[in-house]
Amino acid sequence: MTHPIQTYSLSGGIELSFTDSGPPLDSSDYTTIVLLHGGVFNAYGFHKVHGYAHNLNLRTVLLHRRDYAGSTPYSRSETQELRQGNVIFWERLSAQLGEFLQMFVQREGIPKLVVRQKPAQLNGLGNMGSGGVAILGWSGGCLPIVSFLGAIRNRMISEELYNFLVDYIGDCILYDPSYHCFGYPLPPENRNYIPWEDTTISSEEFLHAFSQWVSSYYDHPCYDPVSRSLLTTASINDYDGQRHKSDEISVSSWTDVEIVQGTEERPSKNEISTFLPEVQKTLRALTEQALFDQDCTKTWFPDLEVSHIGGTRTNWMSEAKVRTWIQGRDREVVGYGSLTWMERIILWAHWDRPAEFLQLVAECIRSHWSN
């Protein structure tokens, strides 16, 4: 089934494009999942999940982030704000995400979030229904989530908009986030491969080389087959991080047409800018506010739950001891409860194993109903 691209026009002349699976038939308690893609790869890479949504009582919305296909590119002034580490850049994106969600909810009439005071009831399909919206970010797509969660002091999000969204947003899911999404500093002894620092790659070769690197399945020596997870005691150089690619590459199955549809080189410069030191300082501050600031977590979407889905064969940047760092501070997460760490041998599961991936996402959401 083809899902046509739709476009919403926001305030300030901003446009955001997306595809929508539509609501499950005869369901009044389905959950809507808004998926935010990562860098270089746009929302096309998630299109397979649309076909599995309804059987799980889910509605999937694949949103093209700013700077990607059909959505408004960043202006020159916005690019300058980004590279200077100006928090206004992230506050504006958060407000635009909120405006999009409000517009979608109002136009589509999606079910409100049911208050989590008792276990969710089973619908006719044998699936839990809770209504509301879950926001899922993949890799660099977790950046908007971190800035949104840390937006308690964002004057661009009106009290009216917040009061509307708080009745719908129940979950945020971080899917293979890179260390830079949290402003997490790499140790100076890091020896792992960073594609955009590779001077042997020409600008014409970058898209292909990056795609091969980021979609490879890696065999980390610190993987523990007993616990089926990566050891939390591993150092940054204990990962399979020096290879430029592996022998098992997800995008190797993509056709030339799919590569054209699903990858975009132009936004890569702005994506790489998020690794700059000034930007990382801003993202670290937003992370502290989003996850560890008691005032924020108790008063900003206080019923919201945060989950993490990590793959044990993903590239080193999506591990980089971020899991250990956040897990070590998990006790500080007050309003958002405990982060859910669900580790599976998945990487690019949304493409290679979309049914299993969406089932795992559903489990993240439903696990909060059983707490």
48-68 pLDDT, tens digit each = 999 999 999 999 999 999 999
Q: What confidence score (pLDDT) does residue 303 get?
A: 84
Mean pLDDT score across all residues of the chain: 87
How crowded is residue 256: how many other Cβ atoms within 10 Å of its Cβ? 7
Residue 228 lies in a domain: no
Cβ proximity of 113 and 8 under 8 Å: no
Residue 316 lies in a domain: yes
How crowded is residue 345: how many other Cβ atoms within 10 Å of its Cβ? 14
Which tokens go with 44? 């096309």
pLDDT band at 334 (very low <50, low <70, confident <90, very high): very low
The Cα 20–Cα 59 span in angstroms is 7
The Cα 67–Cα 45 span in angstroms is 16
The Cα 168–Cα 134 span in angstroms is 9
Q: What confidence score (pLDDT) does residue 321 get?
A: 55
Q: What confidence score (pLDDT) does residue 75 get?
A: 97
The pair phi, psi for residue 100, each rounded to 5°, is -60, -45
The Cα 269–Cα 196 span in angstroms is 9
Which tokens go with 206? 């970058």
Higher pLDDT, 129 or 232: 232
345: CATH:
3.40.50.1820
Question: Residue holding tokens 């970058």?
Answer: 206
Q: Which amino acid is at 83?
A: R
**Would the pLDDT of 272 be above 80?**
yes
Split into its structural domains, the chain has a count of 1
Taking phi over 0 as left and psi of -120 to 50 as alpha, with beta for the rest, 2 belongs to beta
Residue 216 lies in a domain: no
Distances (CA, A) of 192 to 4, 172, 182, 270, 315: 40, 29, 19, 22, 10
Higher pLDDT, 366 or 23: 23
Expressed as residue numbers, the domain containing 73 is 6-191+249-367
How crowded is residue 171: how many other Cβ atoms within 10 Å of its Cβ? 24
**Would the pLDDT of 347 be above 80?**
no
Q: CB within 8 A of 283, min separation 6: which ones?
A: 90, 143, 146, 147, 180, 181, 182, 183, 274
Q: CB within 8 A of 259, min separation 6: which ones?
A: 211, 251
83-109 pLDDT, tens digit each = 999 999 999 999 999 999 999 999 999
Residue 277 lies in a domain: yes
Instruction: Note the pTM of the prediction, 2 decimals.
Output: 0.92
Residue 169 lies in a domain: yes
Kind and range of the H or E run holding 282? helix 277-287
Residue 179 lies in a domain: yes
104-129 pLDDT, tens digit each = 999 999 999 986 544 444 443 334 45
Question: Residue holding tokens 């992370």?
Answer: 287
State the average pLDDT over residues 4-18: 97
166-213 pLDDT, tens digit each = 999 999 999 988 889 999 888 888 899 999 999 999 999 999 999 999
Residue 239 lies in a domain: no
Q: What confidence score (pLDDT) does residue 320 get?
A: 56
The Cα 9–Cα 179 span in angstroms is 32
Q: Are strands 15-20 and 58-63 parallel, antiparallel or unpaired?
A: antiparallel
Distances (CA, A) of 84 to 78, 90, 203, 276, 278: 10, 12, 24, 9, 6
Residue 267 lies in a domain: yes
237-252 pLDDT, tens digit each = 888 889 999 999 999 9
